[in-house]
Every structure is written in C-alpha cells, then in structure tokens.
Structure 1
C-alpha cells in the first residue's frame, strides 16, 4: 500500500519544490518508487517531478476538478511506495469562492486524500515566531493533519536551536533543518521556474539537492509520517474530450505549457498526437485534423517566430480547412502582432486580429470559468470550461468575435473573452477540465 504526504508551506518562495525534488530523488536512490503530483494549476513543476522520479506527474486541482477526477488521477500512485503532492502558494491559499470540490488550496487535497502535511518553513528574520506560525497552520482546519516541519535557510546553529526548542514546546516534530545553500536554487523567470527541459544540468542539480537534504533531514522519520492510502479510482475517468482524432501539437521552448493530464486524456480517448516545432520553422502535420498551440514563452522568441515563414505559411494553410486553437501564448501567436518587452512589434500569423504587448507588463492571474458562445475544438457552444490564466501581456486589440463569456473565481466578468474567426479560436486561459 502506498503512503502519501503533502509538501506545503506558509507562503510561496519558501522551498517547496526543492524539498519535493530532493525527497523524491533521495528515496528513489534508496530503491523506492516515488510518485509526485502538483496541487494547483502550475504547469511547470510536473516536469521537474518527472525528472526527479522517472515517473510522469500530473496536476490535481480542487477548484477545477471534482473528487472523481482527482481520485482517477492519483490512482496512478497505486504501485508507488511513497506519493508526494507538492502544494502551491501557502497551505490554505485558494480563491474566495468554492469551485467544483474546493477553493484550489493545497489543504483541500490533504484533507480529501487523508495525506499529512510536511511544512517547509523559512525562519529568516525570526525565531520562536516560526513555531507560532506552524502551530497556527496545524490548528486552522481540523481535517488537515500536520506531520511536522522542515526548516529551510537556517542562519546558524544557534538560530536552529531557538526555532527547534519553540517547535518542540508546541508539540511539532522537526524533521530537519537546512542551512542556506545557493547551489541548489532553481533559476526563475517571470512565469515561475525556468522549465526543466531548458536546464541541461537539471539532473545534477536534483542530485545535489537530494544529497544536501539527506544530510540534514531524517528521511526515515518523514517516511514514517506518511499516511497509508488505498486509491479508489473513479470509474468515469477524466471528463476530457480530445479536440480531434489526430492532433498536431506545437511543442518546443516557446510552446510547452500543457497540463500532462490533458494529453493523457486525449490519448486515452483514442486520439493521436504529433508534435512540431514552430521555433524550428516546422508547420503542423498535414495529416492532422486539428492543430493546438499551447502557451509558453513566445515573447522570448517573437523575432524568430515572425521570421519563420514555413511555420506561418503552414499554419495558415492548415487553418483554411481545419480548426486551429491557441492557449495564452499560442493565442498570442495566432494574433496579428506581438510587441516584445523592448517595444518592438513582431508580426504573428494573423489568423486572429489579437494584438498583445509586453512593453508595459501587467500580471493577469487566476482561475477562469468560460461559457462558450461558439464551438472550439473538442467542445460545443454552451460548454462550461474551467481553466487558469497567468501571463503578463496587455491586450492592445481583440477585434474578433468573442469566443466565450469568461468569469473569474468570484463570478466577475473579465475582458479576456478569447476570440473566434473562421476556423481559428483562442483563449488566454489554459483548459483544465469541463464541467460534468
């Protein structure tokens, strides 16, 4: 029977990802099978999990997914020895309005699955107060169990002793304390960590993190704290309709933000996926019946995309007879133009009239519920889609027919409606699930 844990923290940027990767690799080095998941809509971390464990990781999201879907996804951990779910933001951080099965908080997953929480706490600039924070998190929600804490970025042995004493007095187990160690910091950019596939040394970085954590954390104690768990897979599986039978998927450093569970669901439904690289000036497979451009970092490669005429010509030709859909960065590339951070405008494919700019960055972040006003690949008009939006682009023009009426998690209507023109459609949100 596998055992499960949730790795969480009081806030973002405390070291959840590094600890998750280090624990996963350290246990894997001991011969254990480790399965990771990511709580929330982050599409970058699962690739790091896969690099650490050798097993595909997927997202589980209580705002966008029902309990049956989450149960189906986590059932892939049945043959693992230990299952780690990495949280997002702080333990109880979600949205104000409840979604399908929760608010999107990591605590929802911990309570739903009965997995204890290992807290990563950075006590920089404090001592005994760290114990007060941990105790508050332990007692905040009765259904969420705290297994213990790992201290990160401890300044000195004296600092560690002060924090440990306070935690012990509060009855909270301390699994270990990590001194500051810059060599295991993961590089970041504006949408989060630099992608695993862009880091040639990622294996060595994870190995060093595993060595460092094994030296300072009681791995056996953490393992004993995990809760035994019997997965109950949902008979209905994932409620995802593939956009076509043969899907041409853009895939390279500029187009990589795809939720792994979506691709798995498409394949499970019998669809075939062929990939192509716009950055390598490749067009979509002409034998495909739909083309899908996911998000990514087109703003970092806008000049190259604009210069790659075979890609642009091939995509335009494809769209004359078959549907093309873009998400976020893919949506921007389907537009008329993209202005980069230096204020230089680059011509995009022109399948839609969208104009976006990164010259004045403005963050757009949050869950989205869209009611389709027109069909898009895989979904009919009237379908209710749940997704997540995260980008820094500004809309200069969005002249085409709106694709959907889009609300944020509070129910407020937002301006990022997506667009539809001919056989081309696009959205700023990344699709996670369709309401059953």
Structure 2
C-alpha cells in the first residue's frame, strides 16, 4: 500500500517543484519507489518528475477530467511506496466555474484522493504572518487536510525561530526549514521552467536538491504524515481517441508540449507513434496516416524551422493526402509566418493562413472548452473538447475556416477558434480530454 501526499503552497514560485523533486530523489536514494503526478495542466513538470523518480508522471486535472479518468491515471502508483502529487499555483486556486469534477484547484485532487497536503511556505519579508497564512489554508476547506509545512528561503536562524514558534502555537507541524541555496534553482523562461530534456545537468541538480533537503527536512516525519492509499478501481479509461493508427509526431526542443497521458492513451488504443525532428530537418514518416505537431518553443527556433526545407516540403507533401494537426506552437508552424521577439518575420509551412507575432507579446492563459464546427483528427464535428491554452503570441491573421467555437472557463467566447484548410487543422489549446 502506497503513502500519498500533495505538495502545494499559497502561490506560484514558492518552491513546490524543487521540493517535490528533492523528496522524490531523496526517498529513491533510500530504496523507495516514488510515483509523481502533476495536478493541473502544466505540461513541463512531469518530465522533471520522471527525471527524479525514473517513472513516468502524468497530469491529473479536476476541471478537464472525470473521476474515472483521474482514478485510472493515479492507479499507476499502486506499486509505489510513496506517491506525490505536485500542485499548481496556490492550493485553492482554480477557475470560477466548476468543470467536470472541480475547478482545477490542487485542493480538489487532495480531497478526492484523501491525501494530506504538505505546504511550502516562503516567509520572505514576514515572520508570524506566515503562520496565519498556513492556518488560513488549513481551515479554508474542511475536506482538505494539512500535514504540515516546509519553510523555504528563510533568511537566518532567528527568522526561522520566529516562524517556527508561530506555527507551533497554531498547532501546525514544521517538517524543516530551507535556507536560500542558489545551486538548486531551476532555470526559467517565458512559459515556465526550462524543459528537463534541455538541461544536461538536471540529474546533478536534483541530486543536490535531494542532499540539501535531506539535510534540513525531517524526511521520516514527512513520510509518516502521508495517508495510506490504494487505488480505487477505475470505471473507465482515458476518454481519448487516437487521431490515427500510425501517428507521425514532431518531437524535439521546438515541439515538446504534449501531455504524457495523451500519448499513453493513443498507444493503449493500439496506435503506433513515429517521432521525427523538424529542427533536424526531418519530415514526417510517409507511412503514417496522420501527422501531429505539438506545442513547444517554435519562437525560439523560428529561423531553423524556416530554413528546414526537407521538413517543410515533407509536411506539405504529407498534407496533400492525409490530415495534419498542430497544437499551439505546432499550429503556428502550420501557418504562413511567425514573427519572433526581435521583429524578424520567418516563413512557416503555409498549410494554414495563420500568421502570428511575438514582437507584440500578450499572455493567453486558461482552460478552453471547444465545440468542433468541423472535424479534426480523432474527433468529429460537434465533439466537445477540453484543453488548456498558454502562449504569448498575437494573431495577425486567422483567415481560414474556424475549427471550433471556443469558450474559456467562464463561458466567454474567445477569438482563438483554431483553423481548418484542406487536410490541415490547428488549435491554440492543448487537448486534455473529450467530453463523453
């Protein structure tokens, strides 16, 4: 039977990912099998979890997924000794309108699974107030149980003592306190952490984080606070239809934002996946019956993509007879042109009329519910798809047939409708699940 915990915080940027990776690696060093999950739609963190544990991590999302899907996904932790779910944003942060099983908040997953929460608290610029924040989070929702806190970035022993005394007075366990330690800071860029596969020294960084946390945190006390857990039988699978039998999947530093559970669902349904690298000027496997371009960072590699003649001609030849779909960054590459942050315009593949620019950055972030007006690979017109959008590009032109009517989590219609032209389709949102 596994021990389950949720790692959360009052806000983003406090150190949830670092603590999750450190705990996972430290317990792994002790001979324990550790399984991680990511609560919410972040598609970068699961790769870090896998690097720390040696086991694939997936997202669980209460806004987009039903209980059966979540139960199916977490059941992979049945053979683990410890199961950690890393939260997103603050513990109770979600959208205003309820989705399939909740608002997307980490607290939904903690309550659903019955796992206690370890809070990461950064008391910078405060002392006793940190205890008030922790007590408020403990008492905010009766179904969510607080195990204790780990203090991060404490300024001095005196600072730590003040915060510890206040937390003890509030009846909140303190598992440890971490001084500032630049050597375990994970590098970031505009869409979040620099991806794990782009960091050659990620293993050493996680090892250092594990050593540092083991020195300052009572790992045994944290483990004792976890809930004994065994997975419930899932009534259904992943509710994901593969877009084809053999899928040519773009996969490199420019095309890497794909949810692990999507790939697993495709394979579980019998689909084959053949990866190729546009940055290496490779075209899609011409024996495939569909091509899928995930999101990623095409804006950082726009010049290389524009110069990749074999990739562009291969994709165009593929699209003459078979469907090609792009998500977010992949959608941009299917378009006519992409203007980078320096204002340089790069020609893309031209399968769609979409033109985008990063010279005038504006953040687009949030859950999306799309009702397809026309078919896309794996889904017929009328299907209702749930996904998440996060990018900084501005649409300069989107002239093709709209793919869908797209709403945000409040029900408001948004302009990023996606597009269809011939066999090419694209969306700005990343697909998480289909409503059934």
Instruction: State if a TM-score over 0.5 links the two structures.
Output: yes
Distance 2:376 2:4 in 1: 38
Distance 1:320 1:213 in 2: 55
Q: CA deviation at 1:235?
A: 3.2
Distance 1:192 1:16 in 2: 13
Distance 1:236 1:112 in 2: 17
Q: CA deviation at 1:122?
A: 0.1
Q: CA deviation at 1:3?
A: 1.0
Distance 2:368 2:63 in 1: 10
Q: CA deviation at 1:34?
A: 0.1
1:258-307: per-residue Cα shift (whole Å, max 9, x none)?
Answer: 00000000000000000000000000000000000000000000000000
Partner of 2:399: 399
Q: CA deviation at 1:239?
A: 0.4
Most deviating of 290-299 and 226-235: 226-235
Distance 2:245 2:172 in 1: 53
1:127-172: per-residue Cα shift (whole Å, max 9, x none)?
Answer: 0000000000000000000000000000000000000000000000
1:335-377: per-residue Cα shift (whole Å, max 9, x none)?
Answer: 0000000101000000000000000110000000000000000
Distance 1:147 1:182 in 2: 27
Distance 2:309 2:179 in 1: 51
Distance 2:254 2:266 in 1: 22
1:167-201: per-residue Cα shift (whole Å, max 9, x none)?
Answer: 00000000000000000000000000000000000
- Aligned 1:177-192 pairs, distance under 5 A: 177-192=177-192
- Aligned 1:63-102 pairs, distance under 5 A: 63-102=63-102
Distance 2:32 2:233 in 1: 23
Q: TM-score, normalised by structure 1?
A: 1.00
Q: TM-score, normalised by structure 2?
A: 1.00
Distance 1:332 1:375 in 2: 19
Partner of 2:129: 129
Distance 1:331 1:393 in 2: 11
Runs of 4+ more than 4 Å apart: none
Distance 2:255 2:322 in 1: 20
Q: CA deviation at 1:233?
A: 3.2
Distance 1:238 1:381 in 2: 20
1:315-343: per-residue Cα shift (whole Å, max 9, x none)?
Answer: 00000000000000000000000000010
1:230-253: per-residue Cα shift (whole Å, max 9, x none)?
Answer: 201313211000000000000000
1:202-246: per-residue Cα shift (whole Å, max 9, x none)?
Answer: 000000000000000000000000001120131321100000000
1:84-137: per-residue Cα shift (whole Å, max 9, x none)?
Answer: 000000000000000000000000000000000000000000000000000000
Distance 2:269 2:333 in 1: 28
Distance 1:136 1:310 in 2: 58
Gaps of at least 5 residues in structure 1 are none
Distance 1:32 1:60 in 2: 23
1:15-48: per-residue Cα shift (whole Å, max 9, x none)?
Answer: 0000000000000000000000000000000000
SS at match of 2:59: strand
Distance 1:199 1:344 in 2: 27
**Number of aligned residues:** 436
SS at match of 2:90: coil
Partner of 2:428: 428
Gaps of at least 5 residues in structure 2 are none
1:374-407: per-residue Cα shift (whole Å, max 9, x none)?
Answer: 0000000000000000000000000000000000
SS at match of 2:79: coil
Distance 1:233 1:10 in 2: 32
SS at match of 1:78: helix
